[in-house]
Structure 1
Amino acid sequence: MPVLTHRAERAPDCEPPTWAGVGGCALPVAAGAATGLLECHALVLTTTGPLLVDVDFTSHLAGPGTLLWVRPGQAIHFDIPGERHAGDDKRRDDAVTIVFRAGLFASEELPGLTPDDPDGPARTPLVLPDPEVFRAAMDHLAADAAGPPGRIATALLHHQLAALLLRVRLLDSGGDDPGNVESRTFERFRRRLEDGYPSSRRVEDYAAELNCSVRTLTRASLSVTGRTAKQVVDDRVALQARRLLAATDLSVAEVGRILGFGEPTNFGRFFHRETALSPGQFRARFADRPGGIPGQRLPAD
């Protein structure tokens, strides 16, 4: 993922402690940012709610007892209905947030779950059947992360986080059929696309890397998403363009270069084709918009 420049300085307490890689969080994205790009994972549990949640430009209304898993690099904006000031103290009681760094768990370490998969569970707000269980677990984790560091403390925090993530996986297992050949082909394509989209928008390149035909990739993509393989590639590039335009101070030309467009005019034509807006028109929609991820309460004694 390209290095991202934030519109506002990140809050100093928004990163998980380096010794553990997981902890509680007071403010994952700097208050006042129009839209934030989180650099770590965040589990956000609404407590008193409701919260207006925008994740990658899709809006949700999350009521009390709702959990959202925000992934690194996603464009996010949280707001409280009726409240327009990011610094309002009411925010401190609206959510509990746990953050953890990418790469904390090895591949296949958690059964049925790859935490760094951007297409994993709870991508949209998940209404919990037992929110108090999650609240207690998250409060305990935050309290332990605030304690003295050490090897045993690190192992404890990782076990606590693993239990939380596996609970989320049980509640939101998804409908993918691991035995379906087309689903497996699309999954390989999607994972490769996450690494390759800044350098190639050619379906032929991905087909060659995956040792299959363009027709096979297109058939798999249509089966899983209803979109052709080329449309899936362009969707991913357009999403990253919107993220960077909405949440960074990079120029339009810089955003285009990051995404592999040698000429700003080519990027502008691509972006207009995909969104029906010019890059400047899209960016203007996010200027001076208050908000940020709500902070958490301090753990109960």
Structure 2
Amino acid sequence: MPALIHRAERAPSSEPPEWAGVGACALPVAAGSATGLLECHALVLTTTGPMHADVDFTAHLAGPGTLLWVRPGQAVHFETGSPPPRTATVVFRPGLFGPEELPGLFPDDPDGPGRTPLVLPDPEVFRAAFDHLAADAAGPPGRIAAALLRHQLAALLLRIHLLAGDGGDPANVERRTFERFRRRLEEGYPHSRRVEDYAAELGCSVRTLTRASLAVTGRTAKQVVDDRVALQARRLLAATDLSVAEVGRSLGFAEPTNFGRFFHRETGLSPGHFRGGSTEQSGGIPGQRLPAD
């Protein structure tokens, strides 16, 4: 993911150390700052609360013993009361684990487990794991220490996967087709919004992609593509200083007017009105409309 111009104030030590790719901090983005885009994964554990978290324009209330997994590239905003809640965060860089390395789990999957807050049945177990990882990450760097941190993180991620229980049926043909489509879409959405292009790359028909998309999400393949482009547009408008024209160009719109029409159709707002709302309201950014067609 290319570097972006962030408006949010990053929390101290929010990036994992290069030698390990895994680290720990309190929050990945300072509470009360403007919406920011994460460049790494963040497992945020709230031990006292509550805490308000906006992730990709969806508001969540995290009480004590709640875990939230925030992915790279997501738009994030945290609000805390007084006194502020105690939180612990494990951060790790994307690409740390391969697609087949953890059974049934690909951590870099943007639609993976923990997308919504998990109320933990055993929060102390997770808190202890977070504390051990933080202590080891603060210790002397080295090959053995890096391997230890990686194993500790793998155990945490697998626990989350078991708790979330939302992996779907891996034997379902339509789900497998949709997963291939969605992963290809993550790479291709800045360049193409044509379902025909994705169908050709995956060696199937547009009808097959549409049937799979409807079965898994209730949305057509074209709507899934447009949803993804509109989400990225909202992220960039809310959390960077790129101009409206620059946001549109980064998503394949040569003309700002074409981008404006697309954005208004998807969200009900012009890009300028959306950006104005994101700077005036904390956590009050309107979400995307779900048209029937």
TM range (shorter): over 0.9
Is the contact made by 2:4 and 2:240 (CA closer than 8 Å) also made in structure 1? yes
**TM-score relative to the length of structure 2:** 0.93
C-alpha distance in 1 between matches for 2:3 and 2:204: 32
Is the contact made by 2:11 and 2:30 (CA closer than 8 Å) also made in structure 1? yes
Alpha-carbon offset, residue 288 of structure 1: 5.2
Q: Which amino acid in 1 is paired with 2:71?
A: R
C-alpha distance in 2 between matches for 1:218 and 1:290: 36
Match of 1:226 in 2: 218
Is the contact made by 2:32 and 2:79 (CA closer than 8 Å) also made in structure 1? no
Residues 59 and 9 of structure 1: is their aligned pair in 2 closer, same or farther, counting only changes over 3 Å? closer
C-alpha distance in 2 between matches for 1:282 and 1:290: 13
Alpha-carbon offset, residue 230 of structure 1: 0.3
Matched, 1:269 2:261: yes
| SS of match in other structure, 1:286 | helix
Q: Deviations over 1:210-269 (max 9, x none)?
A: 011111111111111110000000000000000000001110000000000000000000
Match of 1:244 in 2: 236
Structure showing greater relative contact order (alpha-carbon pairs closer than 8 Å, 6 or more residues apart): 1
Structure 2 residues not aligned, in runs of 5+: 284-293
Query: Percent of aligned positions with the same letter in both sequences?
Result: 81
Match of 2:40 in 1: 40
- Of the three residues 198, 202, 205, the one matched with 1:210 is 202
| SS of match in other structure, 1:54 | strand
- Of the three residues 148, 159, 163, the one matched with 1:156 is 148
- Of the three residues 157, 175, 191, the one matched with 1:165 is 157
Matched, 1:143 2:135: yes
C-alpha distance in 2 between matches for 1:108 and 1:142: 26
- Of the three residues 55, 77, 89, the one matched with 1:97 is 89
Q: Which amino acid in 2 is paired with 1:161?
A: L
Q: Which amino acid in 2 is paired with 1:33?
A: S
Match of 2:107 in 1: 115
Is the contact made by 1:21 and 1:100 (CA closer than 8 Å) also made in structure 2? yes
Q: Which amino acid in 1 is paired with 2:3?
A: V
- Comparing 144-153 with 19-28, greater Cα deviation is found at 19-28
C-alpha distance in 2 between matches for 1:104 and 1:120: 15
Match of 2:116 in 1: 124
Is the contact made by 2:8 and 2:35 (CA closer than 8 Å) also made in structure 1? no
Residues 226 and 8 of structure 1: is their aligned pair in 2 closer, same or farther, counting only changes over 3 Å? closer
Residues 256-295 of structure 1 correspond to what in structure 2 (within 5 A)?
256-287=248-279
C-alpha distance in 1 between matches for 2:11 and 2:52: 21
**TM-score relative to the length of structure 1:** 0.90
Residues 50 and 8 of structure 1: is their aligned pair in 2 closer, same or farther, counting only changes over 3 Å? closer
Q: Deviations over 1:134-163 (max 9, x none)?
A: 001001100110011111111111111111
C-alpha distance in 1 between matches for 2:127 and 2:33: 27
C-alpha distance in 1 between matches for 2:88 and 2:9: 22
| SS of match in other structure, 2:279 | coil
Matched, 1:134 2:126: yes
Q: Which amino acid in 1 is paired with 2:126?
A: F
C-alpha distance in 2 between matches for 1:58 and 1:98: 21
Alpha-carbon offset, residue 2 of structure 1: 3.8
Residues 43 and 114 of structure 1: is their aligned pair in 2 closer, same or farther, counting only changes over 3 Å? same
Greater than 4 Å deviation, 4+ residue runs: 288-291
Structure 1 residues not aligned, in runs of 5+: 292-301
C-alpha distance in 1 between matches for 2:12 and 2:89: 15
| SS of match in other structure, 1:147 | coil
Matched, 1:184 2:184: no
C-alpha distance in 2 between matches for 1:9 and 1:163: 30
Q: Deviations over 1:79-107 (max 9, x none)?
A: 12xx3xxxx7x43x421111000011122
